Every structure is written in C-alpha cells, then in structure tokens.
C-alpha cells in the first residue's frame, strides 16, 4: 500500500475513532445504568475490559505478524510488517499496563484492595513482563532486523500464555469474576451493559488500527527518504 | 454524587492520557518523517 493511501486511511480511521470515542464515553458515563450491586463503579468496566481484550488481541496479532516476518515476508514488505509488529508490541504493552491500572482502581473501589496475588491479575502481570521483554529485544540489537526476528520468536512462544490468562479464573480459585460476556445466558451481562462495552471495544480496535496505519505510513516514508540496503537473512 | 466517581474519573482519565500520548507520538513521528521527505 502506498503512503498516500495510508494517509487517507489513517485520517478516516482517526475520525472514526474520535466519533466512536465520543459516543462510547457519553453512553458509558451518562446513559448506561448503574449496576444493582456495584453502583456507578461498573463504569470502570468500559475502559478495563476492552483494554484486557486488546492486551490479548495485540499479542495474537503480534504473533501472526511475527510468523509472517520469520517465514513469509518478501524484502519489499519487511519495513511495513516490522513497523506493524513494533507498533502492536508497544500498544499491547500499554493496553496491558492500562488493564492492570484500571483493574487496580476498580479493585480498590469494589474489593477495597489495590492488588491481590490472584491468578488472573498475576497472569496479566506476567503478560506485561512478556511485552516488556519484547520491547527490550526490539531495542537490544545493533541490527533492527535481528531484534525484530528475536522478538517475533518470543511472540510465538508467548502465545502459550494467552490460554492461561483466559482460563485462569476457571483453573484456580479467583477473586476476579469469571467471564460475563462470552458466557451462558443466565450469567451474561444484560444488553444495557453489553452495548456500551461493545462501542468502547470498537473504539480501542479503531485506535489500534489508526496507530498501526500511522506507524506503517511513517516507516514507508522513512524508507523512501533513507533507502537503507536490505539486510540478508542469516 | 456516587462516591465511586473519583475512581471512575481516575480510570477514564488515565486511559485517555495513555491512548492520547501514543497517538500524539505517532503523529509527531509522521510529521518528522514528512519534514525529512520535504527536505530531500
């Protein structure tokens, strides 16, 4: 894709993100009802849960991009794919940090605790460390391409941790609540809560798409201005 | 006003700041690349 087309796409995505964010914030903070048990504290869910989903989605996307970089990436696509990979890694790190921070605030409001060494919380903290390891690998090599390849290998191995996060609330006794979105009808969130949650999830997805588009566009512009010699596969 | 609003605003403000800074940095990097391209 050319930088010109990416520029148009990023402008459209940015506008869509802003509109969806305004709608999502208004719906979540003003028009959605309070929970019968948690009261207004449930409104923290609309930033916490999409962040948690994004932390898993980013890792999955990063692993897919990593696999492409390792096995099926022609040199002409390398700069764009590597830019998408590094952007997804950084965004994933921040989504995971946000999940932990907003979860901690929610925990303080509802449980009276900022932190507990609970299975779900600890698994998410380990994910943050894994993202940190990816970012460290990306900046640890003199050759950028080597760093990307090393991080791509870790991204693929790190996929093994995702089911641990997802099923941690079932495998261990947990303070964290179980799934209430992809759950049987009797324990699923009512539509009044699901609808703003869906809008906020869309906001986060659009945000990630905008960020990746911007960074890939920047990488392509830089590639045309600097045109470094492509490195050979080892 | 519910006593939870300070927690709600803290969580939302933190999220907005973290996402906003990422977006701002990506836009700044693109502007920098644009300027380098124009100089050539």
Could you report the predicted ipTM of this complex, rounded to two decimals? Answer: 0.93
Residue A88 · residue A126 · CB < 8 Å: no
Predicted local confidence at residue B15, as pLDDT: 97
pLDDT, tens digit, 9 for 90 and up, residues A119-160: 999 999 999 999 999 999 999 998 888 999 999 999 999 999
Comparing CB atoms, the residue among A102, A211, A218 nearest residue B11 is A102
Report the alpha-carbon distance of residue A216 to residue A139 in Å, rounded.
18
Q: How many Å lie between the alpha carbon of A19 and the closest alpha carbon of chain B?
A: 14
pTM, two decimals, is: 0.92
User: What value does the mean pLDDT take over residues A80-94?
Assistant: 96
Residue A225: Cβ-neighbour burial (10 angstroms; 0-12, 13-18, 19+):
middle
Measured CA to CA in angstroms, residue A46 lies from A1, A40, A110, B24 at distances of 34, 11, 15, 23
Report the alpha-carbon distance of residue B22 to residue A164 in Å, rounded.
28
Comparing CB atoms, the residue among A38, A105, A218 nearest residue B30 is A218
* pLDDT(A228) > 80: no
DSSP state of A181: S
Residue A187 · residue A121 · CB < 8 Å: no
CB pairs under 8 A between A and B: 82
pLDDT, tens digit, 9 for 90 and up, residues A66-79: 999 999 888 888 89
Query: Minimal CA–CA distance to A50: which of A76, A21, A13?
Result: A21
Measured between CB atoms, does B31 come within 8 Å of chain A? no
Residue A171 · residue A157 · CB < 8 Å: no
Alpha carbons within 13 A on the beta-carbon side of A177: 17
Measured CA to CA in angstroms, residue A162 lies from A16, A79, A92, A181 at distances of 29, 27, 13, 18
Residue A119 · residue A175 · CB < 8 Å: no
Query: Does A29 sit within 8 Å of B23, measured CB to CB?
Result: no
Interface probe, candidates A109, A201, A202, chain B, greatest B C-beta count within 10 A: A109
What residues in A contact B36, CB-CB < 8 Å?
Answer: 221-222, 225
Q: 3-state SS of chain A: helix, strand, coil percent to 5?
A: 80, 0, 20
Count of beta carbons in the 10 Å neighbourhood of residue A32 = 21
Token pair 């989903």 is at which residue? A53
Query: Does B34 sit within 8 Å of A41, measured CB to CB?
Result: no
Predicted local confidence at residue A38, as pLDDT: 85
Comparing CB atoms, the residue among B7, B18, B37 nearest residue A109 is B7
Measured between CB atoms, does A98 come within 8 Å of chain B? yes
pLDDT, tens digit, 9 for 90 and up, residues A3-50: 888 999 999 999 999 999 999 999 999 999 988 888 899 999 999 999
CA A234 to centroid of chain Cα atoms = 31
Predicted local confidence at residue A136, as pLDDT: 97
**Which residues 30-59 of A are in CB contact (within 8 Å) with B?**
34, 38-41, 43-44, 47-48, 51
DSSP state of A143: S
Token pair 């719906």 is at which residue? A27
- Per DSSP, the three-state class of A182 is coil
């Amino acid at each position: 894709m050319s930088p010109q087309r990416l520029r148009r796409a990023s402008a459209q995505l940015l506008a869509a993100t802003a509109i969806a964010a305004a709608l999502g914030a208004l719906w979540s903070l003003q028009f959605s009802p309070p929970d019968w048990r948690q009261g207004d504290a449930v409104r923290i869910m609309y930033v916490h849960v999409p962040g948690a989903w994004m932390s898993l989605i980013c890792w999955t996307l990063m692993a897919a991009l990593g696999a492409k970089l390792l096995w099926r990436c022609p040199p002409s696509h390398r700069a764009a794919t590597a830019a998408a990979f590094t952007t997804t890694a950084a965004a994933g790190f921040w989504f995971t940090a946000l999940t932990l921070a907003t979860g901690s605030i929610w925990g303080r409001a509802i449980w009276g605790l900022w932190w507990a060494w609970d299975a779900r919380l600890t698994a998410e903290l380990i994910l943050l460390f894994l993202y940190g390891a990816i970012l460290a690998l990306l900046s640890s090599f003199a050759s950028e391409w080597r760093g990307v390849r090393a991080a791509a290998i870790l991204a693929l191995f790190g996929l093994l941790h995702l089911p641990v996060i997802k099923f941690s609330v079932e495998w261990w006794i947990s303070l964290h609540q179980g799934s209430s979105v992809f759950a049987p009808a009797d324990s699923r969130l009512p539509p009044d809560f699901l609808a703003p949650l869906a809008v906020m999830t869309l906001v986060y997805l659009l945000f990630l798409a905008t960020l990746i588009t911007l960074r890939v566009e920047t990488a392509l512009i830089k590639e045309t201005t600097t045109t470094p010699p492509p490195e050979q596969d080892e | 006003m519910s006593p939870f609003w300070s927690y709600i605003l803290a969580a939302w403000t933190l999220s907005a700041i973290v996402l906003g800074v990422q977006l701002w940095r990506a836009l700044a990097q693109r502007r920098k690349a644009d300027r380098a391209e124009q100089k050539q």
